[in-house]
Structure 1
Amino acid sequence: MRILLTGGSGLVGKNIIDAFANTAFEWLAPSSQKMNLLDYAQTSQVIADYRPDLVIHAAGLVGGIQANMREPVNFLVKNLDMGRNLLMACLQHRVSQVLNLGSSCMYPRNHEAPLSEDMVLTGELEPTNEGYALAKIVTARLAEYIQREQPGLQYKTLIPCNLYGRYDKFDPKQSHLIPAIIHKIHLAKTQGDANVEIWGSGEARREFMYAGDLANLIVMAVSRFSTLPATMNVGLGYDYTINEYYQAAAEVIGFQGAFVHDLSKPVGMARKLVNIDKQIAWGWQPGYSLKQGIARTYDYYVKELQ
């Protein structure tokens, strides 16, 4: 089987490449210079040249709450263009299988109960990352429509919970919660700071899964693609408070100081937990604990980025 991966230089893409390292699949992971997803003609030509049996769409403009609030136009337009151009090029050249990666930010804000796949487009989105969420929703719907109109094509979407791991972005201007926490606590420890600041009360809850677990699921999905639901959440099935993530990272890194809360800062949704009933029924569960995942991520941070 020949697999084409978009976003091979990103967090998810690099973890996927690692996970497939010892498999027999033929891999193609063109750079954005070779396959610019913002350019339909170029995207279509690459699909025509490579003739993949399966495409995994992991490319995207991603960032944390600060980046999403600062650049909503980019997060909407660029992610929408990437998803549309890729799916329509795959349709044009009759690629039989596409695995599209969505995001749990596609779900309505402020739901205490776990978010099931049928809840997309049933309520208001979180304003701090609305542009990114809209792009992901449209791409997932387009995959669904293509499969509906073309029964011979299998265009499916995984909706992962929040991810972190090796190859993450640790720059505070771009990073998500856990890499940002690792960076802040590492600096505090090395500089001898007594305190680390937490935005808000720290009581908001988040579900973060180690990216290597998602990559392992994708290996399984490629081998069992016909059994994969058309849309499926991927997650832990439980969550932690922001304070608990800070505490876990402090224990892994060895920071002995205190945490202080800035209640004037935005915190996003109070809770965002995905329902994993379909995932369990399909037969998969993540393997890394929170501290195991943070330890592997911190090891990468120290060795590669310091």
Structure 2
Amino acid sequence: MSGEHKGGALPLAQANPDHHTAGTAKPGFSLAGKTIWIAGHNGMVGQALLRRLKGEACTLPTPDRKALDLTRQAEVEAFVGEARPDAIIIAAARVGGILANSRDPVGFLTDNLAINLNIARAAHQADVDRVLFLGSSCIYPKFAPQPINEDALLTGPLEPTNQWYALAKIAALKLAEAYRRQFGRNYIAAMPTNLYGPGDNFDLEAGHVLPALLRKAHEAKSRGASQFELWGTGKARREFLHVDDCADALVLLLETYSGIDPVNIGFGEDIALIDLAHLICRTVGYDGAIALDPTRPDGTPKKLLDSSRLREMGWRPRITLAEGLAETYAWYQAQLAREAAA
């Protein structure tokens, strides 16, 4: 970071219209001795990043979410100004599945816009020169060519069932680009595919498809039910990446990447949702039926990322879907046991 500005905020109007750093490489970012703020440290991705960075020689502030509302600009500015982080990873987001998005489009759009706008502005004012923004694979056009390359962004209409969340995430990626172009900030962006793992949200209304199916299969087994429901035709295909593999990729990008283009983070293979449901049944030990409801939306028919850019940097996923499901289910069972004992 630029030490001469560290003691005070930079004027937001400061800009050099001839200063464009698109594609300009900067030296690697060393974690040693740095303060890294993971915005959203209580979430699934945030927890995975804390696990990943725990052994590194860096400081990881974890403010109480009750004392820091990321949708409140004044609170974000006050925290960043006091903590003076050397880098920020924006893992905070309001997330949910098709049902949650359809019920609260205003919340998904405004909360996610506010989180990224507030953190970016506060970071710039405090002269934080390293910020990693997280997008999502849902920001790509509904019918993007498969596998989806980063260049597919903004080339077609979005999937209507999650367009509100997607629009906010697209704005975040463009915000990173804007700060880089206008102020020379070393801000970068990554687009993870569908993530799962310990810390996931198993709420049937707010959760994503994988944890929701795990819960449905578990509850069907516990009740002795003959079947559980899967929305849609079961033909839609999704790519799933364990959150710990994603954390490894994000740390690699934070340390080494300085490009203007966002970077995909994907597993490299997708699976039909009906096949996922069967795999979950085997994981849970449930031998009942899966009832499809074709009156419900499938969402995007296929969503597989082209992660060749990241793989060229040396990253590979380590955790197979079967291994990850077993670990995630064990974590979910442990959570249920703790809740029952409380």
Instruction: Quickly name the TM-score band, shorter chain normalised.
Output: over 0.9
Amino acid at match of 1:53: D
Question: What amino acid is aligned across from residue 232 of structure 1 in structure 2?
Answer: V
1:1-306 correspondence runs (5 A) = 1-151=34-184, 153-226=185-258, 230-306=261-337
Alpha-carbon distance in 1 for matches of 2:288, 2:250 = 39
In structure 1, list runs of 5 or more residues that go unmatched: none
Cα gap change, 1:288 to 1:73, in 2 (>3 Å): same
Work out the CA distance in 1 between the residues paired with 2:180 and 2:215: 42
**Structure 1 residue runs of 4 or more that deviate by more than 3 Å after TM superposition:** none
Q: Deviations over 1:86-145 (max 9, x none)?
A: 111111111010011111111000235111112111110111011100000001101111
Residue 190 of structure 2 aligns to which amino acid in structure 1? L
TM-score computed with the length of structure 2 as normaliser = 0.86
Q: Over residues 148-171 of structure 1, what are the superposed CA-to-partner deviations in whole Å (9 max), with x where a residue is unaligned?
A: 1222x2100110001111011111
Query: Contact 2:230/2:290 (CA < 8 Å) preserved in 1?
Result: yes
Gaps of 5+ in 2: 1-33, 338-342
Contact 2:49/2:247 (8 A) holds in 1? yes
Post-superposition shift, 1:218? 2.3
Q: Secondary structure at the match of 1:274?
A: coil
State the SS of the aligned residue for 1:275: coil
Whole-Å Cα distance in 2 between the matches of residues 221 and 111 of structure 1? Answer: 25
Return the letter of the residue paired with 1:193: A
Partner Cα distance (2:261, 2:132) in 1:
9
Q: Which moved more, 1:242-251 or 1:31-40?
A: 31-40
The SS at the match of 1:5 is strand
Equivalent AA in structure 1 for residue 208 of structure 2: H
Instruction: Tell me how far apart the structure 2 counterparts of residues 171 and 123 of structure 1 sit (CA, whole Å).
Output: 31
70-79 or 20-29: which moved more? Answer: 20-29
Partner deviation per Cα, 1:263-291 (whole Å, 9 max, x = no partner): 11111110111111111111101111001
- After superposition, the Cα gap between the structure-2 partners of 1:166 and 1:180, relative to the gap in structure 1 and judged at 3 Å, is same
In the alignment, the residues of structure 2 paired with residue 11 and residue 61 of structure 1 have an alpha-carbon distance, to the nearest angstrom, of: 12
Tell me, in whole angstroms, the C-alpha distance in 2 between the residues paired with 1:144 and 1:236: 25
Query: How many equivalent residue pairs?
Result: 304
TM-score (normalised: structure 1)? 0.96
**Residue type of the partner of 2:293?**
D
Q: Give 1:229 shift.
A: 6.4
Distance 1:11 1:278 in 2: 25
- Structural RMSD (CA): 1.3
Contact 2:140 2:154 in 1 (8 A): yes
Aligned amino acid, residue 286 of structure 1: P
Separation (CA, whole Å) in 2 of partners of 1:161 and 1:31:
28
| Residue identity opposite 1:210 in structure 2 | H
Does the 8 Å CA contact 1:48/1:93 hold for their aligned counterparts? yes
For 1:118 and 1:94, locate their aligned partners in 2 and report how far apart those are by CA, in whole Å.
30
Residue-by-residue CA offset, 1:49-98 (whole Å, 9 max, x unaligned): 11111000011111111100110000000100111111111111110100
Contact 1:200/1:267, CA 8 A, preserved across alignment: yes
SS at match of 1:28: coil
1-structure distance, mates of 2:128, 2:330: 39
